[in-house]
Structure 1
Amino acid sequence: MIEVLRKFWGATLAPMLQRPKRLQVAALCHRTKGDDTEVLLVTSRDTGRWIIPKGWPIRGLKSSEAALQEAWEEAGVRNSKATPAPIGTYTYDKRQSTGWDMPVETLVYSVSVNELSEEFPEAHERTRKWVLSREAADMVAEPELQMILRQL
């Protein structure tokens, strides 16, 4: 009987009680240096861990355009283009002010960086750093994002 209840919980009831994942968009900003690809990482505002620029979709903008907006606000990326389709996705749990975690699925858009501005909206709140893509994979916490970075 316990096994029947466990199967029912795992296959039917638990999935029904889960909250749906929220959606974010991210910009995987990169440049080529010789034979190497470098990725632009920024620190998160709350914990200071290394991330790629990301945020919530913006009404009136395509997802790729919203990812570019996040790249500008969080990293100072200017005059660059994002791929029209995401190059991958990753999930993570976003900690809320209430203390609860919210599951988030993040669409990742490739952004070839042409220009960086020293002045941008979150310049005083974040640190940014160019690193080799394989090093970036070791610096970020999300396993699915690590896989995307290792494939560059």
Structure 2
Amino acid sequence: MALNLIKLCVGADSVEDLEEWIAERLEEHRRKGEPVEQYHTTRMVPTRAAEIINSGSLYWVIKGSVQCRQRIVDIRPFRDAEGIGRCHLVFDPLVVRTRWQPRRAFQGWRYLKTSDAPADLGGGKHRVGEIPPKLRQELADLGLL
């Protein structure tokens, strides 16, 4: 069974902000001749990495609600220049919108069981991603998303 992570997306006001940030970072890697991949650096290494890699996702909490996720393709522990243990969570750069799920603020990341994770939003007749971000937030605040 897949295991996921959940984390606050600090600095992003919307899924669109996150997508823009990802595109900028990928382009920056291209310009520098570095591997073109998206990752997030964290201090703690998930002890259950084998349950997460290639089958789990990181669910992003934006403005108090889970709004999207990214599939985790690798977890790479390393030591930084000061010798402190850190970890790169490497993602598929595709951002998948999810049903909004309210979450209180917390520090770091947490494990998230698949059964507790919000469902993906399909592209069918309910294209929530096409609703302007401000209106999506208002609808979510009213419990309509």
The two structures have a TM-score, normalised by structure 2, of 0.29
Rg larger in 1 or in 2?
Answer: 1
